[in-house]
């Protein structure tokens, strides 16, 4: 009975946090559309989009590791090895899903023209992405905070997903703006909020009072 109560409480907390963070996602997707319009009318080359993507994605991983580890620390007070494992898998795995895999699959689903190369950033830029994940874990373990890293994480994830589209796909983007808004929202809300909130809380055995600090 106690275990069932803890499980129900955990899922209520997850739902509450998802609802609380939904406005970040909508705002992030809106800024993504603005950037896309600038890219189209500014005739920004795909090479520049690719360079920006490889700046945004590692930074996204850093913030994701910060928030994922901080949520686990603030709720679970777990051991260092557990924080490292949860922070690493929650940031590298889900950031890759959000920034690369979901945009690629969405492009395939709607037959958007894609290049022959499908990059996986944690492999292509392993020397940069992995150290930043561990840096985020270390910072969050000793000074856990969630409010500002999560907001930044959502924006960076949105922009990284957007620049994945413009770097590795070719399309007439303006008629696709409503669809891109949906794409960006899904690419961010599901993986990033799961990473930041639901994923670390799955490993928490008991509920602790928590407010964003």
CB 69 within 8 A of CB 136: yes
Q: In whole angstroms, give the CA distance from residue 211 to residue 213.
A: 6
Beta-bridge mates of residue 169: 114
Task: Report the candidate in 94, 112, 97, 96 with the shortest Cα–Cα distance to residue 166.
Answer: 112
Instruction: Please report which confidence band the pLDDT of residue 111 belongs to, taking 50, 70 and 90 as the band edges.
Output: confident
**What does the angle CA 168 – CA 95 – CA 78 come to, to the nearest 5 degrees?**
170
Going by the DSSP 8-state scheme, the letter that residue 113 receives in this structure is E
> Mean of the pLDDT values across residues 139-165?
82
Q: Which of 14-18, 47-51, 162-166 has the lowest mean pLDDT?
A: 14-18
User: CA-to-CA distance for 59 and 36, rounded, in angstroms?
Assistant: 20
Which residue would you say has higher pLDDT here, 184 or 207? 184
Q: Give Dmax over CA atoms of the chain in angstroms.
A: 61
Model confidence over 178-206: pLDDT tens digits? Answer: 999 988 888 777 666 666 667 887 787 65
**Three-state DSSP class for 198?**
helix
Provide the pLDDT for residue 68. 87
Query: What pLDDT sits at residue 150?
Result: 61
Q: Tell me which residue of 126, 39, 46 sits closest to 88, measured CA to CA.
A: 126
Nearest to 137 by CA among 71, 206, 194, 212: 71
pLDDT in tens, 32-82: 999 999 999 999 999 999 999 999 999 989 988 988 898 888 877 678 999
Residue ranges of domains in the chain: 2-201
Contact present, 83 and 72 (Cβ < 8 Å) = yes
């Amino acid at each position: 009975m106690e275990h069932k109560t803890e499980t129900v409480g955990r899922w209520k907390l997850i739902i509450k946090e998802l609802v609380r963070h939904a406005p970040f996602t909508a705002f992030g997707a809106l800024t993504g559309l603005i950037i896309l319009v600038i890219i189209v009318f500014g005739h920004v080359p795909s090479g520049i989009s690719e360079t920006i993507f490889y700046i945004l994605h590692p930074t996204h991983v850093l913030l994701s590791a910060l928030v994922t580890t901080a949520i686990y620390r603030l709720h679970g007070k777990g051991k260092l090895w557990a924080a490292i494992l949860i922070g690493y898998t929650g940031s590298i795995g889900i950031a890759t899903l959000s920034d690369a895999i979901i945009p690629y699959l969405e492009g395939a689903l709607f037959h958007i023209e894609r290049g022959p190369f499908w990059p996986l950033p944690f492999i292509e830029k392993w020397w940069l992405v992995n150290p930043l994940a561990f840096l985020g874990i270390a910072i969050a373990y000793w000074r856990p905070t969630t409010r500002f890293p999560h907001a930044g994480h959502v924006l960076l994830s949105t922009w990284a997903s957007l620049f994945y589209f413009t770097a590795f796909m070719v399309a007439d983007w303006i008629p696709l703006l409503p669809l891109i808004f949906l794409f960006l929202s899904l690419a961010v809300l599901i993986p990033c909020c799961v990473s930041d909130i639901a994923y670390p809380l799955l490993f928490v055995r008991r509920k602790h009072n928590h407010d964003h600090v």
